Structure 1
Amino acid sequence: MNKPTLEVRFFKTDGGTEPVRDWLRELSAIDRKTIGEDIKTVQFGWPLGMPLVRKMDKDIWEVRIHLEGRIARVLFTVSDGKIVLLHGFIKKSKATPKPDLKLAKDRMRGE
């Protein structure tokens, strides 16, 4: 098997929780599998662009995931050979909601 380009890490709060991991646990097994496969594609193929990955802001990208009947996004940053999963959500509108992007930025900055 090929060696991954990046190591995957979950953002961890000061309290020790991992919000993206917690969000994934709330989803169905098939949704988790689809999301995991898309993150693995990024992990092994970085750098990638559309249609799977889109740059959202300085140092923040989104994995664009198509689930059965809905769309999910996982916002991440890349640092020191690691992809850090900052925020995951089910998309309900065309544009990525500003509060979701702000949350990812705050987590990236350690706020």
Structure 2
Amino acid sequence: MTWGTVELEPEVRDWLERLPTAQFATAAFYVDLLAEQGPLLGEPYTRQLDGKLRELRFHLEGRAVRVTYWIAPGRRVVLLTVFAKTRMREAAEVSRARRALARCLTESHTVGEGEGDDGDG
């Protein structure tokens, strides 16, 4: 049974489309797990970063990958950004994810909106 729906920001969609098949299958497994359990999915699979901002945590070929997301109204999980986990880059990546979340909140993103859609039509 699925808890909610998953929406992809363009960065995450593009990243997933570029993955080799085996890596895509691994990433899809964790995204599906998040869709099934929503806010009930905890560590080690997810971790809170800041306020509503969270990260989905998994490995691809021995490399730690993080996909940032937030739980939006209407039982939606919005995947915001993706990055390879390193100690030196994490603060910058979390800041980037915060900006993506703020943009989503400001633009009131909904399912099916295009990249250039301003939400008026």
- Aligned counterparts of 1:109 and 1:90: Cα–Cα separation in 2: 22
Q: In structure 2, what residue type is equivalent to 1:50?
A: E
**Which residue in 2 is equivalent to 1:38?**
30
95-104 or 77-86, which moves further after superposition? Answer: 95-104
**Which has a greater percent of helix?**
2
**Which residue in 2 is equivalent to 1:10?**
8
- Aligned counterparts of 1:27 and 1:44: Cα–Cα separation in 2: 22
- Aligned counterparts of 1:5 and 1:108: Cα–Cα separation in 2: 21
Instruction: State whether structure 2 residue 80 is matched by structure 1 residue 86.
Output: yes
Provide TM-score, normalisation by structure 2. 0.77
Instruction: State whether structure 2 residue 74 is matched by structure 1 residue 76.
Output: no
- Aligned counterparts of 2:62 and 2:36: Cα–Cα separation in 1: 27
Instruction: State whether structure 2 residue 95 is matched by structure 1 residue 102.
Output: yes
Q: Gapped runs of 5+ residues in structure 1?
A: 12-17
Structure label with greater radius of gyration: 2
Provide TM-score, normalisation by structure 1. 0.83
Q: Gapped runs of 5+ residues in structure 2?
A: 107-121
- Aligned counterparts of 2:68 and 2:60: Cα–Cα separation in 1: 16
- Aligned counterparts of 2:45 and 2:102: Cα–Cα separation in 1: 24
Q: In structure 1, what residue type is equivalent to 2:30?
A: D
The alignment yields a C-alpha RMSD, in angstroms, of 1.6
